[in-house]
Amino acid sequence: MAPPTTIFYGAVISPESLTSYKALPRCLLSVGASGTIDWMVDDVQEHVLQETLAQKGCIDVDVITLPAGEFLLPGFIDTHTHAPQLPNLGSGQQHELLDWLSDVTFPMEAKFSDVEFARRTYESVVRRVINCGTTTCCYYGSLHLESTKVLADIVHASGQRAFVGKCNMDRNCPDYYVEASAEVSINETKQLISHIRSLASRPNAQSSSRPHLVQPILTPRFAISCTPELLTSLGKMASSDPSLHIQTHISENKAEIAFTKELFPDAPHYAGVYDSFGLLRPNTILAHAVHLEDTELELIAKRKAGISHCPTSNFNLSSGVAPIGVYLDRGIKVGLGTDVSGGFSPSILTCIQNASIASKILAIQAGTHGTSPTQFSNRQLPVATLLYLATLGGAEVCHIDKTVGSLAPGMSFDALLVNTRSIAGNPGLWSPDTDTPGKGKEALDGLLERFLFCGDDRNISRVYVEGRFIGGNNYRANN
């Protein structure tokens, strides 16, 4: 059953642009039965609360009032993660990419041939990702069809918004973990797409009428693991269905780039490989993009593809520091990705912290100080930009920014109720002396910064997707 209208009264923070966000200390926000935000009224003083509600036709309604130290934020968008790698979290950090894949990652992913193991593992993966505040997630499964169907089923039942793909990989992988042929890979991909689209008619725990939250996504793992025959067939599938999303890796590690150039000597560069098969377009998500050439950037900008910045992974696998400021200055869409288990945390908060550090490293090397209102290249990224990348930027990369990524009338209520009070179990973020809403926007600015840099899943009380309460600390306590 669809939930009734829910009305919140309290602080709301929402990104507006790469350099600004709204911080509304006393906002009245109404979520309709369809799960979208019906209306918002800013700066409602307590003594006019009932009157304002009456003007909106809301008599005798329950209002969720947020105390000082709590605020609503758009849900995080993880534009790149690997569900079957979560059991490897924190392992194998001595490696760089190609050895890490063969020594650590492929052995774990191969275990997902066992569908019951996959079911047990994916239940806990999806629960953990939701409780970290990720309302939309781009999941890579393993190469296995049945296990990836199970992943999609579990995500669907959870009420999370997601893209789910099975890896296409028919070469340069170990014998025990490689697809038999391009044909098998394509057939199984088609079966997965049909399965995910059929979930639309299957009720989930949250609702019988929210069919569209889980979508399929083509997932050529990376150019190295795909024969030209496979990439050709994937390109044909993509061109026959422009709505189909695509996710892959690009220019993560120097040895990977060199090997890619050997395998595709006619391509002008790494991005050119994907482009030559019709796989670069506005709903393509390119993970990492650490070492792109200038002409690749031009091409990516022209195709309007998006980049998933995975700084935790780029540090952890010693891949390098992606010059995200340069990409932003060129108008390329950028979101954040945890890249579990290249990245050692499933939380976008950790990713935000590492994105900040990555930008500071580049600024230190360039000898620049502080942020700049007009330029991101070689500059430390401001808090507003970090928030944007984690929310609306991610929505742009996923090509769903008309639906999610910010809190505004008409947008889906994919949101977090953040609690920075000591009772949340992570004391020190909020102080009644300095951070009460009565102190205005500046207090909220400080609170947001401390949450982004020192907060964790203890501070995420409630996770909502399309108005439905699907996770967070309070959910954990009651389920």
Please say which residue, 76 or 344, places its beta carbon nearer to ligand GUN.
344
Minimal distance, residue 350 CB to ligand GUN, in Å: 15
Please say which residue, 351 or 470, places its beta carbon nearer to ligand GUN.
351
Q: Whose CB is nearest to ligand GUN? A: 342
| DSSP state letters, 307-334 | EEE-HHHHHHTT-----HHHHHHTT-EE
Distance CA 316, CA 94 (A): 9
By a kind-dependent CB cut-off of 5 to 8 A, residue 379 interacts, out of ligand GUN, Zn ion, none, with none
Please say which residue, 41 or 151, places its beta carbon nearer to ligand GUN.
151
Q: Contact letters (x/-) for Zn ion, 89-128, by CB under 5 A?
A: ----------------------------------------
Q: Which two tokens stand for residue 392?
A: 């609306």
Q: Are 71 and 21 in contact (CB under 8 A)?
A: no
Please say which residue, 34 or 91, places its beta carbon nearer to ligand GUN.
91
In whole angstroms, how far apart are CA 424 and each of 292, 375, 418, 421? 42, 37, 9, 6
Measured in whole angstroms, the distance separating CA 18 from the mean position of its chain's CA atoms is 17
Minimal distance, residue 144 CB to ligand GUN, in Å: 15
- Contact residues toward ligand GUN (CB under 6 A) are 82, 97, 101, 105, 221-222, 249, 252, 313, 339, 342
Please say which residue, 153 or 339, places its beta carbon nearer to Zn ion.
339
Q: Please list every residue from 131 through 150 that binds Zn ion, using CB under 5 A.
A: none
Helices (H), 39-174: 49-55, 97-100, 106-110, 115-131, 145-158
By a kind-dependent CB cut-off of 5 to 8 A, residue 222 interacts, out of Zn ion, ligand GUN, none, with ligand GUN
**Would you call 455 helix, strand, or coil by DSSP?**
coil
Minimal distance, residue 103 CB to ligand GUN, in Å: 13
Q: Please list every residue from 338 through 367 that binds Zn ion, using CB under 5 A.
A: 339
List, in order, residues 6 or more apart from 52 with CB less than 8 Å away.
28, 41, 44
Minimal distance, residue 6 CB to ligand GUN, in Å: 39
Give which of 174, 171, 190, 178 is closest to 144, Cα–Cα: 178
Q: How many residues bind Zn ion (CB under 5 A)?
A: 1
Please say which residue, 48 or 89, places its beta carbon nearer to ligand GUN.
89
Q: Which two tokens stand for residue 265?
A: 């000597």
Minimal distance, residue 287 CB to Zn ion, in Å: 5
Strand partners, 284: 246
Minimal distance, residue 236 CB to ligand GUN, in Å: 23
Q: Which two tokens stand for residue 158?
A: 């959870």
Please say which residue, 210 or 291, places its beta carbon nearer to Zn ion.
291
Minimal distance, residue 294 CB to ligand GUN, in Å: 23
Please say which residue, 275 or 339, places its beta carbon nearer to Zn ion.
339
Give which of 406, 22, 52 is closest to 9, Cα–Cα: 52
Q: Contact letters (x/-) for Zn ion, 301-340, by CB under 5 A?
A: --------------------------------------x-
Long-range contacts of 419-424 (CB under 8 A, 24+ apart): 419/69, 419/70, 419/459, 419/460, 419/461, 419/473, 420/69, 420/70, 420/447, 420/450, 420/451, 420/455, 420/459, 421/67, 421/68, 421/69, 421/70, 424/458, 424/459, 424/461, 424/473
Minimal distance, residue 310 CB to ligand GUN, in Å: 7
In whole angstroms, how far apart are CA 425 and each of 235, 331, 430? 49, 40, 12
By a kind-dependent CB cut-off of 5 to 8 A, residue 252 interacts, out of Zn ion, ligand GUN, none, with ligand GUN
Please say which residue, 14 or 284, places its beta carbon nearer to Zn ion.
284
Q: Which residues bind Zn ion (CB under 5 A)?
A: 339
